[in-house]
Structures are given as structure tokens and as C-alpha cells.
Amino acid sequence: MKKLLFISLSAFAIFAFAACNNGGEAVNIDSSQLSVAGSGRISVLTNMSIDWGDIDITGGKVEYSFKMKNVGDDDLIIKSGSTTCMCTSAQVITSGGVNSPLFGMAAHGGTASWGYAAKPGEEFELKVVFDPMAHGPDAVGPITRSAFLVTSSKPNGDFTEKSPYTEDMSTEVKLRGNVLYKADFEAKVAPMGEEFKFDESEHDFGVLKQSSGAVSYDFNFEYLGNDPIVVSSVPTSCACTIAKISANEFNKGDKGTLTVEFDPNLHEEPNGKFFKTVTVMTDPALVKQPEVKIWAEIDLDLGADAFKLKEPHDDSQVSVYKNISPDTFKGMLAKKDFFLLDVHIPEQEHIAGTDSFIAYNEIDKNLSELPVDKNMPIVVYCRSGSMSKEASQKLIDLGYTNVSNLEGGRDAFINLQ
């Protein structure tokens, strides 16, 4: 799972870096020329607080971006910002890639003036960065910090209050975490591949009568990963099995349920005991995707004529997509003879040579964007390799016979360059 790590820089290097960070240019406009009292209306699209959970004091800086938007009818003037501690910095990144100065601790002169005018409907981010080593190698324990963004926003419920430093309105976001020595951190963090800790990873339904109807089982789990994660899908190994998950977003310590349902009368199954699998696909993708398994044996009390699907079924003969490495994909691009499909949402910057973009969960709604020849080679990619797996399987289900999934997605390919 991706963890944000940053090389520690000196204070002077950090401020120099601000001018080119994230692809934008730092600007410092005279806010007196832009100031419009009570104009615009700020809204925070994400939660107004982030809990990083356990933080390795030697693991580098951690960050979080709060999504914000001007929901008013007038320009929103972003005047300045600050944080409550020298270990924490903040920076505004606009949708156009323009960066504010770095905002730091107000008491240490970190309240930098700006003056950017966010247009009505414009979205932007307030990126906060915490350095666990800022107070020395023994500064362990719980941390609570805040970052303030001073704007011209009209009073707006939970989103704005008078700035502690000026007469302007400000928006406060809160940051929490628990800094640990490296050894203590490693003892608490889930081993790779065990971010989703299931109470049990397999369930045996035993012998099921064909006439019994669909059966289901709840797999309870706790998410132990250190970073927040989104479940993008829960694909199954066969149409006779469907799954749903209790939530799509999880933070460390959150509990959930994966419900798996099996229909013993959908189609012919193998003789004797067999199993089906359910995979939890995530963004960012985990090194080892979580998987549960159900077992069953069918009592054909209704007979083969009662199956909802009459065609013979053999799981071992089901067509599957193949995974290709970034190295292999790079070689294939040199003599491109395949259809290249980007399925990541939101839409990202495409790899050069991409033939089409279709959201991973809308493949079957955009067949006109796909090759007419279902035997044509197709390579599917997303950002990190999670969404593309589901899209690749969907293409197989639609009858495409030569589908490849780019492992690690666009990020892995770009890092190869």
C-alpha cells in the first residue's frame, strides 16, 4: 500500500522547493488589491479533520489534502494561512496548478500573505504536511495540530469563523496522530498482505440442495492498514457468486462486513466439493489483495433440467485476462499492435498512445468505444492497477479473448521511465 515518504530538507530548502512543488508556480499577489470583504463562500468537500493513526517517527513526513470549493456567487479571496506548530506546514494548490507560499507556524512568522481569487465553483486543495522528526528523535506520543486558511468567505456554519490572527474569516482543519518509535510502530502495523484482518477467510456451506435457494455468509473484518483506503470493487470468480461490502472507505481500525451470496441452482457445478473466491479490490492497490473463499457441494434434488443456465459449466475452462509487467508493456509500445484502454476515474493524464478512455465501472455501457473484433489484443490500465483488474475481467465476461492488465498501472509505468 502506498505510504507517503518525504526526504527531510532544511527549512531554507523547503521554502525554495515551494516555488515548483506540484507543477505550479508560487505566486504572491498584493491581497489589498483583491480583498473583497464577505465575498465568496468556502466549503470543505472532505472531512475537516484527519487522523493519521500511528506514525513512524523515522518514516518521513506524512501529508493530507483537504478538498475545498468556492460555493458562493462571488470570487473567494484566499488571503493567507498558518499552522499551530513548526512541525506542520500547509499550502494551497489550485485546480490550475498554481501553488501558494508555504504557510507555517504563526508565532514563528509562518503566516504568509497571498491573495488568490478562486472563482465561483472553483475547487482547490489545502495540503498539510507533518514532520514527526521536527521536535527531535524522542518526540513521541499523540499529536493534535491545526491549519488555518484565511479568506474573504461569508460566515458559513462549520466552515468559517473569525481568524485568531486577523479580522477576516478563517477555515480550520485539524490533524491528529500518534508518533511512535520505529520498533513500536513496526510491532503495531499489519504485516504486508494482512491489512484486512478477517475473522475467518473461508466458509464451508456443506451440502446444499439445489432447491434450497441462494445462501449467504458474512465475513467480518477489521482494516489495519495505516493509510485510508477505498474499496473499488469486490469481484467474484463466478457468476453464481455475488458479493457486497458494508462500506467503500476505511480508515485504520474501522470494521466491516463482506457478504457473499451463492446460488446453487444457477448452472452446473463440478462434482463433489468445490470453491469460489471473492477478492477485495482497493485504491491504492495492496501488494496482496484480500480474498475470501466459500466451499459447497450440490445435491441435485431438482435435476439438471432445473438449472437457470442450461449450458455446461467448467470453471477451469473460463477465459481469463493476463497480467503484464511495465517492462513488458514498454516493449509492446515500441511496436504497438494492440488497443490501449485507460479506465481510471477520475480521468487522468493518459499514457501516450492510448486509444480510448472508459470508466472502469462503465465498460458495458460504452461498447462502441471498444474494438469490433473481440479477438484484438487489448491492454487495460488505470492509475495503480486496481480498477484495471475489474475492467479486464469485465471485458473477458463480454467475450473479448485477448485482454492484458498492466500491473501497477500508469504509476508503475511512469516510474520505469
Same domain, yes or no, for 300 and 329? no
What is the per-residue pLDDT for 67?
93
In a domain, 213, yes or no: yes
CA 40, 41, 43, 48 torsion-angle sign:
positive
> Containing domain of residue 247, as a range?
196-317
Taking CA atoms, 325 is separated from 101, 341, 377, 379, in Å, by: 39, 16, 16, 11
In a domain, 186, yes or no: no
Higher pLDDT, 61 or 38: 61
Same domain, yes or no, for 134 and 147? yes
Most confident of 27-31, 259-263, 384-388, 412-416: 259-263
- Grid coordinates standing for 407? 500491473
From 274, 297, 317, the end of a domain falls on 317
Same domain, yes or no, for 256 and 364? no
pLDDT beyond 70 at 338: yes
The enclosing domain of 19 has a CATH number of 2.60.40.10
Residue 30: band (very low, low, confident or very high) from pLDDT cuts 50, 70, 90: low
Could you read off the pLDDT of 373-395 as tens digits, one per residue? 988 999 999 988 878 888 888 89
Same domain, yes or no, for 220 and 292? yes
Same domain, yes or no, for 298 and 256? yes
The enclosing domain of 335 has a CATH number of 3.40.250.10
Same domain, yes or no, for 49 and 156? yes
**Side-chain half-sphere exposure of 375, counting CA atoms within 13 A:** 0
> Residue 156 in contact with residue 150, Cβ under 8 Å?
no
What is the per-residue pLDDT for 198?
93
What is the per-residue pLDDT for 288?
76
What is the per-residue pLDDT for 21?
36
In a domain, 307, yes or no: yes
- Grid coordinates standing for 86? 513548526
Same domain, yes or no, for 35 and 158? yes
Same domain, yes or no, for 170 and 304? no
What is the per-residue pLDDT for 28?
47
What is the per-residue pLDDT for 273?
84
Could you read off the pLDDT of 182-204 as tens digits, one per residue? 888 877 766 656 789 899 999 99
Higher pLDDT, 269 or 8: 269
Same domain, yes or no, for 52 and 172? yes
What is the per-residue pLDDT for 249?
92
Q: What is the mean pLDDT of residues 296-311?
A: 84
SS (H, E, C) 48-113: CEEEEEEEECCCCCEEEEEEEEECCCCCEEEEEEEECCCCEEEEEEECCCCECCCECEHHHCCCEE
Same domain, yes or no, for 275 and 403? no
Q: How many domains does the chain have?
A: 3
Same domain, yes or no, for 210 and 280? yes
**Alpha-carbon distance 99 to 117, whole Å?**
13
Same domain, yes or no, for 26 and 125? yes
In a domain, 187, yes or no: no
Higher pLDDT, 252 or 339: 339
In a domain, 3, yes or no: no
Name the average pLDDT for the chain.
83
Could you read off the pLDDT of 67-109 as tens digits, one per residue? 999 999 999 999 999 999 999 999 999 988 889 999 999 766 6
pLDDT beyond 60 at 22: no
In a domain, 357, yes or no: yes
User: Residue 32, Cβ neighbours under 10 Å: how many?
Assistant: 9
Task: Please report, rounded to a whole number, the percentage of residues in the chain having pLDDT higher than 70.
Answer: 85
pLDDT beyond 70 at 165: no
In a domain, 2, yes or no: no
From 252, 287, 317, the end of a domain falls on 317
Residue 62: band (very low, low, confident or very high) from pLDDT cuts 50, 70, 90: very high
How many residues would you count in the chain? 417
From 317, 335, 366, the end of a domain falls on 317
Q: Is the pTM of this model over 0.85?
A: no
In a domain, 152, yes or no: yes
